[in-house]
């Protein structure tokens, strides 16, 4: 039987713990028992964990042998222009499940002003969504979710990235993402626009910063669909 995986909130040499809401879910909802075994992801890998103590605020584990068969991490950064929060959370959940390593929320020209204003406060919820999805999909760690950035500031910082950089564009007619060669050493970054897409000025800014425009094909997808499909194709190329 496959053991459920948890990502530790705290860990030392041979012990680990879940705390807060994380612990409450295991203690109250799943009704874990002392002596029960789970897979526990810690900084240096995944180990078998045996429950030592349980309370609604804290569950402690004794860490045993390392678990084999943990998937190698692939460094794909998903740059995601902010769109409607319910759909964006769905995209974050699914992109976590398929293996995205990092998510950068962006404030683009067509990002709704109310969403942009609320984005910083939403970051913690996005992190909780990613953590839950990472555990469900048996990842060793959730994707890092960065603080939301205005597109202009992000493009300046991205010029020094060693990773391959690609941006999805509805106006690109020649280059398909599936046909792009991505170097695996430094990973890759994939940028997905908001509802309504990138403006022509924004696409020019991407190109000036060293990003390559690509297409997913002739159909127009919702932002969350483009994020999941694009990330899945890029991850397949990198692997």
The pLDDT tens digits for 44-68 are 889 999 999 999 899 999 999 988 7
Q: Bridge partners of 165?
A: 189
Structure tokens at 29: 């909802």
Return the DSSP state at 166. E
Q: What is the domain partition of the chain in residue ranges?
A: 5-66, 76-238
Q: How many CB atoms lie within 10 A of CB 209?
A: 17
Residues 6+ apart with CB under 8 A from 173: 215
Class of domain 76-238 as given by CATH: alpha beta
pTM of the model: 0.84
Query: What is the percentage of the chain residues whose pLDDT exceeds 70?
Result: 96
**Pairing between strand 144-145 and 102-107?**
parallel
> Residues 173-193: what's their mean pLDDT?
85
What are the CA-CA distances from residue 132 to residues 4, 78, 127, 129, 140 (Å)? Answer: 12, 18, 9, 5, 12
What whole-number distance in Å separates Cα of residue 222 and Cα of residue 88? 11
Altogether, the residues listed in the chain come to a count of 239
Specify the fold of 5-66.
Ribosomal Protein L25; Chain P (2.40.240)
């Amino acid at each position: 039987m496959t053991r459920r995986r948890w990502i530790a909130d705290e860990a030392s040499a041979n012990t680990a713990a879940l705390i807060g809401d994380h612990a409450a879910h295991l203690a109250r909802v799943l009704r874990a028992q002392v002596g029960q075994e789970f897979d526990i992801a810690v900084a240096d890998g995944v180990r078998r964990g045996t429950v030592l103590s349980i309370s609604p605020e804290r569950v402690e584990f004794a860490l045993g042998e390392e678990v084999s068969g943990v998937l190698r991490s692939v460094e794909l950064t998903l740059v995601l222009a902010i769109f409607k929060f319910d759909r964006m959370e769905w995209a974050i959940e699914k992109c976590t499940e398929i293996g995205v390593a990092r998510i950068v929320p962006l404030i683009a020209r067509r990002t709704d002003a109310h969403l942009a204003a609320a984005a910083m406060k939403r970051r913690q919820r996005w992190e909780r969504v990613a953590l839950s999805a990472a555990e469900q999909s048996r990842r060793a760690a959730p994707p890092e979710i960065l603080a939301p950035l205005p597109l202009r500031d992000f493009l300046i910082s991205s010029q020094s990235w060693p990773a391959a950089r690609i941006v999805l564009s509805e106006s690109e007619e020649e280059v398909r993402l599936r046909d792009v060669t991505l170097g695996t050493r430094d990973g890759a970054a994939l940028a997905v626009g908001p509802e309504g897409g990138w403006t022509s000025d924004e696409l020019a800014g991407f190109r000036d910063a060293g990003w390559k425009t690509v297409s997913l094909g002739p159909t127009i997808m919702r932002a969350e669909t483009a994020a999941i499909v694009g990330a899945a194709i890029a991850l397949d190329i990198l692997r």
